[in-house]
Amino acid sequence: MRIREIAKLALPPIILMGMRKVRSLSRVQTIRPAFEGPVSSWAEAERQSDGWDAQVILDKTLDVSLKVKRGDIVFQQDTVVYDRIRYSDTILAFLTLVASANDGAINIVDFGGSLGTNFFQNRHVLKTCMEGGNCAWSIIERKAIVNFGRKHFQNEILRFFETVDEARRVLRTLPRSVLFSGSLQCLENPYFILDQVIGAGVDLLAFDRLLCSPIQEHEIYIQNPDPHRYYAASYPVWCFSRTKFIEYLGARSFELIAELSQRPELTFNHAGMIFRRMRS
């Protein structure tokens, strides 16, 4: 007989109810909020969190990405495994715009694209383009991801780079369409990177799962993913002021042409936005 069954026989109902309440409260108290902050600086947020270089994040990313490549699982995003592909309206719209502007060819930079998450998500959509030799997908990522990507994933279509400058040097010119999928908010200096790609002559910018809110100023938080679903590691993120973000790109001659999955009333909203360079 299990201890729980013995307790039911031996203890009065009122005590059992109290025990269940204590267990319930203890579980609630150990759950950390999804977002802690705002925090005074990125350096302080790094000090208080595990950071993106946490080994548990890297290990799980490598494991599930290889399973997707081998066909053991259908799709993964942020290390969460799914039994079907979960398409992004923002990315599909972005790819459609890229193809329509380039006679069906796809040549993009996927900034923070991990080990090809977005590429494998859309490989069926890209099939005709790939078979015709008209697809080039360049990922810019952290050094550890790039090293693993080059060893296990890189081919004539999918390539990996550590920086914007490296991609420009190797490719001779940066593709004119850039995707940030859940990645811009994870950069310490996101506007520096945006200025780099804009200065390289990019015409189309897409932001999928961009963390933003109705706040008036950009703020830094510590994100704590559900360890049972993702991994037991926390990291710094920006939560962008939606208004200021759009104004920033507008000041650099980019207009918002599509906004998808947008719920502006949410404090932490993962939005989809596509911007195009305005013609003079």
In the block, tokens 């991990």 appear at 114
Residue 19 banded pLDDT, cuts 50, 70, 90: very low
CB 155 within 8 A of CB 120: no
| Ranges 22-36, 116-130, 170-184, 259-273: which has the least confidence | 22-36
CATH code that applies to domain 33-277? 3.40.50.150
Rounded Cα distance, 251 and 245, in Å: 10
Q: Does residue 9 surpass a pLDDT of 50?
A: no
In the block, tokens 């790039």 appear at 146
Q: What pLDDT score was predicted for residue 5?
A: 44
Q: What pLDDT score was predicted for residue 226?
A: 75
- Structure tokens belonging to residue 75: 């799709």
Mean pLDDT of the chain: 87
Residue 27 banded pLDDT, cuts 50, 70, 90: very low
Q: Strand (E) positions, the chain?
A: 35-39, 75-77, 80-82, 106-111, 135-140, 158-161, 177-181, 204-213, 219-223, 235-241, 254-260, 269-277
Give the Å distances, CA to CA, from 90 to 77, 159, 180, 196.
15, 22, 11, 22
Rounded Cα distance, 248 and 104, in Å: 31
CB 75 within 8 A of CB 82: yes
* Mean pLDDT on 180-206: 97
* Mean pLDDT on 151-168: 97
- At 193 the three-state DSSP class reads helix
Q: What is the pLDDT of residues 226-259, one digit of tens each?
A: 776 777 789 999 999 999 999 999 999 999 999 9
In angstroms, the first-to-last Cα distance of the chain is 80
Count the residues in the chain: 280
Rounded Cα distance, 249 and 207, in Å: 12
Rounded Cα distance, 170 and 57, in Å: 29
Nearest to 244 by CA among 272, 263, 219: 219
- At 109 the three-state DSSP class reads strand
Q: What pLDDT score was predicted for residue 232?
A: 74
CB 36 within 8 A of CB 222: yes
Q: What pLDDT score was predicted for residue 31?
A: 47
CB 70 within 8 A of CB 182: no
pLDDT above 90: percentage of residues in the chain: 72
CB 271 within 8 A of CB 261: yes
161: β partners: 140
Q: What is the pLDDT of residues 257-269, one digit of tens each?
A: 999 866 777 888 9
